Structure 1
Amino acid sequence: MAQRILIIVTSNARMGEHAKPTGLWAEELAVPYYALLDAGAEVEIASPRGGQVPLDPGSLKPAGQNDPAVERLLADPVAMDRLAHSRVVAELDASRFDAVFFPGGHGTMWDLPLDAGVTRAVEAAFAADKVIAAVCHGPAGLVTARRPDGQSILAGRRVNGFTDAEEAAAGLDQVVPFKLESRMRELGGRFESGPLWQPYAVTDGRLVTGQNPASSRLVAEHTLALLGLAAAPATAG
């Protein structure tokens, strides 16, 4: 039976009260999406509100200039239909999937931590010992999930995500509702990081976290390894 993967993405298209558009970062979905599909997995896409998923316009270039996976995504009618009709996270049982994967994009910072369905999905996956993976701002979907003892699922775990230094370099450290690295540290995560904008990922047990868009492929490779669909990558983390 094929492995089943639940990809949870943002529904949010604006940076809070700011006019700046945001959403899902295309590369962070496209790269793991096709890595999983090409390895024989079945993929479901869900979001807090369901329906149309906003793609961050900053993650898209003119046709022919994007990462090959993004070009493939934009030309794939099945994938685009899934993004147009994403499932509602709260209506799904994450424990029935083999893995839960969170792509990033700044949109995640405003809606994933506040969505009870997302929190329940992560807690259910964690309790069932499923693979949980997130890249860049995707770990925003993990910060409200708790273990049965009340502690964060990140407590005591080696973790990674979009760094405070990268947020400052992007000029958005005063725009985001919280700094992801700082929050993960506050929750007891043993935060590790690589150079700015370079691929970096960390695996701790069944948890995989990666730093930035360039880390999308590395996080996908770590996830595939945990699912038994590929050999473990001999790279960072």
Structure 2
Amino acid sequence: MSQILLPLPSRDFDPSEVSVSWKILTQCGHQVVFATPDGKPGACDPIMLSGIGLDPWSGIPVLRNVRVLGHLLGANADARRAYAEMQRDANFANPIRWDQTGHKDFDGLLLGGGHWARGMREYLESSHLQRVTTDFFAEEKPVAAICHGVLLAARSTRADGLSVLYGRKTTALTWALERKASVLAHVGRFWDRNYYRTYTEAAGQPAGYMSVQQEVTRALASAGDFVDVPAGDPDFRRKTSGTARDTATDNRPAWVVRDRNYVSARWPGDVHTFARMFAAVLDAAAVERSRCAGGDSRSGQPAAQTATARA
């Protein structure tokens, strides 16, 4: 069994990316330890959990329960069930504090996402979490990051000042998906139009400059190291529509990238495949630890590679 660190902000993390990952990892026999800024249980983005607040009539009693955009963009039934289960987990109810975390006590690190700026910025801008992330990469311990979680990884720097993702392949929330969600929010949540944009462009910056994809890409060795779904993929439309999500039995909508012990994904629609791939990386790392403990000096670290999950 591997022990996984899963840091969360106090509020507004994405319920699907965190709870489905938790459920799959625990089902695979791993222990997930949660950490929050103050050691109190975190709370997910309530709009993403219920879907209420994404339609223009959300402020009207009774009508607010009629979800159209909320049904499309919010957590699905599978994720809502996983979140309810996670809330009953003792580790979730009794998290440790961020400042009690370190790479030496854990076998892997999982960085979940979320976009609502009011809660996510403390997580994305935490110098402590960035240092911890840097340490995990330095030790080549398994790390998984999804959506805005990749942004936290990109902001974590090595001793030479470069990002821990410099020289690695990665994906993250794409500008195409972020832009689609933002356009819908301008209509459905017109009173809070930038709900989907954690960071917005300043005067003079081109559209998308502060998107997750573009900030992450600026931290990489090459723009080509940001790996998106190729146009020739047989499931290209399904993977890029922003409406199809993977399930426990169907990974066709998912796009997940692996580079050595690092796994990344774009959005909640990738989370089942993302968590299963991370579980496989953790299992391989555990085998390697066992070999090393037994005196086998052979390295189990493969050369840099990218493997994309598909059917």
Whether the TM-score (by the shorter chain) exceeds 0.5 is yes
Higher helix share: 2
**1:131-146 → structure 2 map (5 Å cutoff):** 131-146=142-157
**Aligned 8 A contact 2:124 2:151 in 1:** yes
Give the percent of matched residue pairs that are identical in Structure 1 and Structure 2.
23
Tell which structure's C-alpha radius of gyration is larger.
2
Matched, 1:78 2:78: no
Q: CA deviation at 1:199?
A: 1.7
C-alpha distance in 2 between matches for 1:112 and 1:77: 20
Structure 1 residue aligned with 2:215, among 151, 174, 183? 183
Structure 1 residue aligned with 2:100, among 66, 91, 100? 91
Partner of residue 17, structure 2:
28
Unpaired segments ≥5 residues, structure 1: 14-22
**Aligned 8 A contact 2:178 2:197 in 1:** no
Partner of residue 126, structure 1:
137
Larger deviation, residues 115-124 vs 220-229:
220-229
Q: Secondary structure at the match of 1:133?
A: strand
Q: CA RMSD in A?
A: 2.7
**Aligned 8 A contact 2:181 2:196 in 1:** no
Partner of residue 9, structure 1:
8
**1:164-175 → structure 2 map (5 Å cutoff):** 164-171=175-182, 172=194, 175=197
Partner of residue 269, structure 2:
214
Q: Normalized against structure 1, the TM-score is what?
A: 0.82
Partner of residue 19, structure 1:
none
Q: CA deviation at 1:84?
A: 4.5
Q: Secondary structure at the match of 2:128?
A: helix
Q: Secondary structure at the match of 1:202?
A: strand
C-alpha distance in 1 between matches for 2:124 and 2:4: 20
Q: Normalized against structure 2, the TM-score is what?
A: 0.64
C-alpha distance in 2 between matches for 1:42 and 1:185: 32
C-alpha distance in 2 between matches for 1:49 and 1:68: 29
User: 1:3 and 1:193, CA in 2 relative to 1: closer, same or farther beyond 3 A?
Assistant: same
Per-residue deviation, residues 136-166 of structure 1 (Å, max 9, x unmatched): 2221221221223221111121111111111
C-alpha distance in 1 between matches for 2:97 and 2:279: 25
Partner of residue 50, structure 1:
39
Partner of residue 188, structure 2:
none
Letter of the 1:4 partner, please give it. Q
C-alpha distance in 2 between matches for 1:83 and 1:90: 17
**Aligned 8 A contact 2:254 2:309 in 1:** no
Per-residue deviation, residues 91-145 of structure 1 (Å, max 9, x unmatched): 1112321110011111475122321210111011112211110112221221221
C-alpha distance in 1 between matches for 2:33 and 2:256: 23
Q: Secondary structure at the match of 1:159?
A: coil
C-alpha distance in 2 between matches for 1:77 and 1:186: 36
Letter of the 2:216 partner, please give it. M
Structure 1 residue aligned with 2:29, among 40, 55, 80? 40
Matched, 1:193 2:228: yes
Structure 1 residue aligned with 2:111, among 91, 102, 106? 102
Per-residue deviation, residues 44-68 of structure 1 (Å, max 9, x unmatched): 0112343131211222238xx9433
- Number of positions where the alignment pairs a residue of Structure 1 with one of Structure 2: 221
User: 1:92 and 1:192, CA in 2 relative to 1: closer, same or farther beyond 3 A?
Assistant: same
Structure 2 residue aligned with 1:202, among 257, 278, 284? 257
**Aligned 8 A contact 2:113 2:146 in 1:** yes
- Where in structure 1 do 4 or more consecutive aligned residues deviate above 3 Å? 75-78, 81-85, 172-175
